[in-house]
Every structure is written in structure tokens, then in C-alpha cells.
Amino acid sequence: MAPATAPATAPTPAAVNAIDLATEQASIAKAQAGDLAALAPVLTAYAKLLYATVVMPRVGSATIARDIVRETLATAVEKIDRFAWQGKSIYPWLRQIAINKIFDMHRQHQRSRRLADALAMQTDATTDDDASPDAQLIADQERRHNRARIDAALAQLADRYRSALELRLIHELSREDCAKQLGVTVSTFDVLLFRAVRAFRKNFGTRNSQPETLAGALP
């Protein structure tokens, strides 16, 4: 069953379709018995409320909010067998799923930001303390430009490559600990890290000696 979609614009709670508990309970029971399509009216009724009062106020982006609501409803369909009817609406359960999705998004964003900052330290232009204001301004502009390019390059990396760079650069784990975290041997991790750096180089684009500087920081 295709999950209900979030509205294009933020609705008011009053716009939510009312659904009585008896109908809701019956729909959930049918879904748990295998008729997932029976859940559609329930999810449709609560999609707007989730969007307007739970997700949108916490993320501030209509596009991201719609994506999170869609993921919330899809997860609800996948895990409906875990929901236990207790005489109350399914809405609090849906709300908690949505909040968990929001937390996951923020954690992923923070990890990506830390990784981008760590890589930026390797690719930043540097200036002397007594450099002229113009030189400092150029360096600052270069740093901002590099960070934007790094974000774009990281977004293209496979999850396994990103994890290798994150463990080594962000968490500063030893090669042995990185390998253990990824469930591989140290020699395999070395190959993985080499390929991650190479993929990052390709995505970031060869520019002066920056890729060599990055590679030198990752033994």
C-alpha cells in the first residue's frame, strides 16, 4: 500500500479529517490482519496534523517536513503489527515515530557537518597571522567555498566510505578501532579508507595540492 502523502502547504488542525475511534480501531485490526490498505483512511486523517503541529514547527522546511511525514507513514505501515490498541487513538504512536524521524535527521546533519568541518581543516587555505586584511578576506572566502564543495562531495559518497572518514577524522579512532566498528580487518579498513579518500578526491575535484594534503592526513 502506498502511504498517504503530506499536504503541499501547512494546514490548520481544524482541517484534519475527523475519524471516530471505532472506525480507527477496525481499520487497524484489518491492517494487522494483513489488509494494509485498510490503514489508508487513518493515515490520511492524521497526515495533515502531523505535518502542521509536529514536523513543520521542528524542521522549518516544507520539503523536509513532507519527506518526514511520508517516512513516518511508511514506517507506521511497516510496523503496524507492533501497535497495541489500548482504547486510544493511534495518533500519539504516529507522533512519536515522526519525532524519532526528526531526531534522526538532526543527528545525521550534525555528523555530516562535523565531518565537513574536519575535512575543511585539511583543505582550507591558510594565512599567516600578520597577513594583510585582503589576504585574510581571500582566505575566509576560500574556506567558505571549500566547505560548500566538501558538503557536495560528501553527499555523493557511499555510506561505507562516509563512515570510514567519519570514524577516522571525527572520532579520531585508531585504525584497529575503526576496523572493529565496521566489522572488517585492519587491512580491509585501510583499503576502504584509501578508496574513501580517492572517492572524496574525485567528488571534491583536483585543485592545486589540496587532495594530497587530505591524503597525507589519513595514513
* pLDDT higher than 70, residue 196: yes
Question: What is the C-alpha separation between 74 and 118, in angstroms, rounded?
Answer: 35
Kindly report, residue by residue over 62-72, the tens digit of the pLDDT.
888 898 999 99
* pLDDT higher than 60, residue 47: yes
Render 131-184 in DSSP notation, one character per residue.
--HHHHHHHHHHHHHHHHHHHHHHHTS-HHHHHHHIIIIIS---HHHHHHHHTS
Confidence of residue 187 (pLDDT cuts 50, 70, 90): confident
Longest dimension (CA), the chain: 75
Domain boundaries, the chain: 13-106, 110-216
Q: What is the residue-averaged pLDDT of the chain?
A: 74
CATH 1.10.10.10 holds for 110-216: yes
Is the overall model pTM greater than 0.85, yes or no?
no
Average pLDDT over residues 32-51: 93
Average pLDDT over residues 95-104: 88
Considering the segment(s) 13-106 as one domain, its CATH architecture is Orthogonal Bundle (1.10)
